[in-house]
Structure 1
Amino acid sequence: VEWSLERFNDGKNFTLAVDTDVLQFNQPVPRLQAIHGTDSSDWQLIFDPLDRDDFGNLTCRLTDTNLRDVYLTRLLNVISEPVVLESSTKDIEINEGDSVTLICNAQGYPAPNIEWQKADAQPLSSGHIRQVGSQLHLYQVTSRDSGIYKCLASNLVGFGSEWTLRLSVRFRPYIYCQNQVGQAPDFQVDVYMECYVYGYPPPKISWRQERSAGPSNAKYDIDISNSRKYLMEATIPEMSTCTDCILSRLTIINVEQGDLGLYYINATSSGFPSEQGRIELYGTSDCQQFITHRNNKGCKRIYSQTSSSNKIYSRFYTFHFIFFVLFIQNYLKHSIC
């Protein structure tokens, strides 16, 4: 007598026992017994304990006295709470506008019910998202469909395991910026400007300033990098604020007259055209913003080099004039004597 099992969860076939010799599932602890009484025609295979993975077709095969194979196959149902199998859809990336099907394969008896959810608790759109059985179909996806999806399997026994995957939607970058920001120049005070940059994969961000030169005020750009003058920062906002976005901040340290004008932010992502945003920095008579940093004295007007030199020359001439007057007075006094 030969016992075999066609297991459903992984499609593998096992020869479990031949006569009373057990061939499988002996590690780490034997859990099978093949029994045949000497005075009986009954053959028994005992699972102790029964495992959820034993779910499948169990076959008993023997050879009769006429050397003919006789077999009997029965479905071995294992009553258990569901478990989601590794063959389910894993993390996936697609382009905006494409369609995709997410598959949740679950094992359990009775047959499990499948429910799909989005981890951010946002309801699944009934327009272009539809669940059919254990599959979730998404048609013509947009960037808003990006995120974590959860597959929940349950049956009468209870709730089984939970399967999560990330759906990433590749889309062209776009930028939201302040229109303008004001600050008083030459007051030893900083100013910052902010833009939200969207895109996946995460775009590369750069800043530049537009300047003019010459009698014709010819326009040219200068690239901005971190220095004593500029500080560029990028942070990931809370998911409640935005997803697949970066908050880019440019701080201009100790704003001067030459810093006023137009600033441009550029976002580039592989496979997509670049995107540009613009902010104007204009001058104000009073300080508008304060950002603390090690050199920021805050709203104290910077005197020009010319006025400082004039003060030095003024003190020099005053000192020499007083000295000259005292010298004349002393000379006249001695002459009279």
Structure 2
Amino acid sequence: MNVTAPVGREAMLTCVVQDLAGYKVAWLRVDTQTILTIANHVITKNHRIGLTHSEHRTWFLHIKEVKETDRGWYMCQINTDPMKSQIGYLDVVVPPDIIDYQTSTDMIVREGTDVTLRCMATGSPAPIINWRREDGQPISLSNTREVQSVEGSQFNLTQVSRKQMGPYLCIASNGVPPTVSKRIILVVQFPPMIWIPNQLIGAREGHQITLECISEAYPKSINYWTRDKDDIVAQGDKYEPVIVESAYKVHMKLTIKSVTASDFGSYKCVSRNSLGDTDGSIKLYRIPSSSGYHSSDSNDTKHKGKPRKNAGNNILEGNQDMLKERDPNQPSNKEDEENYEDSRARASLVSSSCICIVLACTLGLVLPLPFRHQSELRALHPA
């Protein structure tokens, strides 16, 4: 029967003979016409060839530490007349092996360029090459297309972006264990970029506030904070700059532990690397400690100043109502009460005068002297 054996292992070919009597069994290599064994004797000088049999009926040809050169046809032959024989094929399979000099090494490229990764492997049968990300994430081939793996000895990336940066695995397999792989790191370089979640931040004096920036850059950037005159903000009792790095991203935080009047103004988060630099501005402004707002008795809506009662469409009546209101927080005494009553009387007089003037304007009447007050009023005529 045909036999398949992995390289380096032992292969065993079997030949079953019935009624052998006095005849002899021999093993031959067909392609080279080489006699390997006759009866119980090994003829070849190849020390890897061996022979066993079971009661002269089942004959075994052993090939130890199989090599690829052992692949081919073998014959079991009986020296009858005419000769009787059978042939069988020995297939030697070889696990995959990656060819280093034909395979890409770690690559450093600029963002936006085209990249080709190569991976070559030997083996029998011929290996299949698959590309995967080492972190298990999908491979981004474009803005809208993602795949889990890419098959082929060449892996092309068009206009490579920072999202495609990272280690990739070239995996070669052909069904013969073990499967092998090679790690290739793709490094994408780009100048710094900064995102600011909040460019305008308010704070009250005495409170703690944190300013934040997010930077992306590769090679890794130098990151720091500055004030209005580009003075670097150093870590101390008052300021606490913190940097959290993740791959090519940097989360910059500046905590002001107790805000004072001198802390209000502009701050900059700065990011620099060998390809360039950039910065982002954050304005810190003062929030007054008292906003001047309070709740109305009728609902929870905030109003500025004293609430006004609903006077409908009667404007004059509404004014009278407002004049009647007193501040309950003011102390009460006799002089205040007299002033308050006097103000009520004057308000009533002013209100009455206003009503008369409106009526006079409507009817075209001339007001009598008592309504002229200190200044002399002209006669009013209808329009």
TM-score, with length taken from structure 2: 0.49
1:79 counterpart = 2:93: yes
1:250 counterpart = 2:265: no
1:292-320 C-alpha deviation (Å, 9 max, x unpaired): xxxxxxxxxxxxxxxxxxxxxxxxxxxxx
1:78-105 C-alpha deviation (Å, 9 max, x unpaired): 4133243444323221112322221222
CA distance, structure 1, for counterparts of residue 267 and residue 91 of structure 2: 69
Is contact 2:129-2:151 (8 Å) kept?
A: no
Is contact 2:213-2:251 (8 Å) kept?
A: yes
1:224 counterpart = 2:233: yes
Is contact 1:175-1:196 (8 Å) kept?
A: yes
SS of residue paired to 1:144: helix
* Residue 90 (structure 1) aligned to one of 105, 112, 115: 105
1:48-79 C-alpha deviation (Å, 9 max, x unpaired): 334xxx65899xxxxxxxxxxxxxxxxx9741
Residue in 2 that maps onto 1:5: none
Change (3 A) 1:92 1:256: same
CA distance, structure 2, for counterparts of residue 250 and residue 85 of structure 1: 51
Q: What are the residue-to-residue correspondences of 1:165-204 with 2, within 5 Å? A: 165-178=184-197, 179-185=199-205, 187=206, 189-204=207-222
CA distance, structure 2, for counterparts of residue 81 and residue 101 of structure 1: 26
1:278 counterpart = 2:299: no
Give the superposition deviation at 1:223.
Answer: 1.7
Residue in 1 that maps onto 2:182: 163
Q: What is the identity, as a one-letter code, of the residue corresponding to 2:251?
A: L
Change (3 A) 1:263 1:155: same
Is contact 2:224-2:233 (8 Å) kept?
A: yes
CA distance, structure 1, for counterparts of residue 69 and residue 287 of structure 2: 79
CA distance, structure 1, for counterparts of residue 91 and residue 118 of structure 2: 23
Q: Which has the larger radius of gyration?
A: 2
Residue in 2 that maps onto 1:322: none
Is contact 1:153-1:159 (8 Å) kept?
A: no
Give the superposition deviation at 1:281.
Answer: 1.3
Is contact 1:183-1:286 (8 Å) kept?
A: no
Alignment coverage as a number of residue pairs: 217
Give the superposition deviation at 1:42.
Answer: 4.7
Larger relative contact order, structure 1 or 2 (CA cutoff 8 Å, min sep 6): 1
SS of residue paired to 1:44: coil
CA distance, structure 1, for counterparts of residue 70 and residue 65 of structure 2: 18
Q: What is the identity, as a one-letter code, of the residue corresponding to 2:65?
A: P
SS of residue paired to 1:222: coil
Give the superposition deviation at 1:134.
Answer: 0.9
Change (3 A) 1:41 1:267: same
Give the superposition deviation at 1:259.
Answer: 0.4
Q: What are the residue-to-residue correspondences of 1:52-67 with 2, within 5 Å? A: none
Task: After superposing the two structures, state which structure 1 stretch, 273-282 or 119-128, moved more.
Answer: 119-128
Residue in 2 that maps onto 1:325: none
The runs of 5 or more residues in structure 2 that have no matched partner are: 1-34, 49-62, 72-89, 291-383
Residue in 2 that maps onto 1:149: 168
Is contact 1:56-1:77 (8 Å) kept?
A: no
Is contact 1:195-1:249 (8 Å) kept?
A: yes
Residue in 2 that maps onto 1:125: 141
CA distance, structure 2, for counterparts of residue 174 and residue 132 of structure 1: 34
SS of residue paired to 1:246: strand
Change (3 A) 1:195 1:126: closer
1:110 counterpart = 2:129: no
Give the superposition deviation at 1:168.
Answer: 0.7
The runs of 5 or more residues in structure 1 that have no matched partner are: 1-34, 59-75, 211-219, 238-242, 288-337
TM-score, with length taken from structure 1: 0.55
Change (3 A) 1:181 1:78: farther
Change (3 A) 1:42 1:274: same
Residue in 2 that maps onto 1:48: 64
Change (3 A) 1:164 1:176: same
Q: What is the identity, as a one-letter code, of the residue corresponding to 1:96?
A: E
Give the superposition deviation at 1:120.
Answer: 4.3
Q: What is the identity, as a one-letter code, of the residue corresponding to 2:46?
A: Q
1:259-295 C-alpha deviation (Å, 9 max, x unpaired): 011111111111x2211111111222469xxxxxxxx
